[in-house]
Amino acid sequence: MNERQTRAMERMFREGRAGFKGGMSAKKYRAITKCPATTATRDLAALRDMGALVSKGAGRGTRYEISHARSVV
């Protein structure tokens, strides 16, 4: 996870579901990390691919929420 992703995930955990009603969007991510739109989209997709976030919707309507998946050992 890069510094931007870490900052955004920490904020999501700190704010909880109430603070991110509707989930994380690329626009919210950009506001937190001060990065360009393309970087926000790429970072969010990477977090989804890592399993940290799950995505809902498509295109401009894509929203991300913290994944509740647990690995079983």
What is the domain partition of the chain in residue ranges?
3-66
pLDDT-derived band at 6, boundaries 50, 70, 90: very high
Task: Output 69 or 66, whichever has higher pLDDT.
Answer: 66
C-alpha torsion sign, points 62, 3, 46, 19: negative
- Residues 34-53 pLDDT 10s: 999 999 999 999 999 999 99
Class of the CATH domain delimited by 3-66: mainly alpha
pLDDT computed for residue 47 by the predictor:
96
Alpha helix locations (H) across 20-36? Answer: 26-33
Can you give the pTM of this predicted structure?
A: 0.86
Which segment of 9-18, 20-29, 33-42, 61-70 scores lowest on mean pLDDT? Answer: 61-70
SS3 56: strand
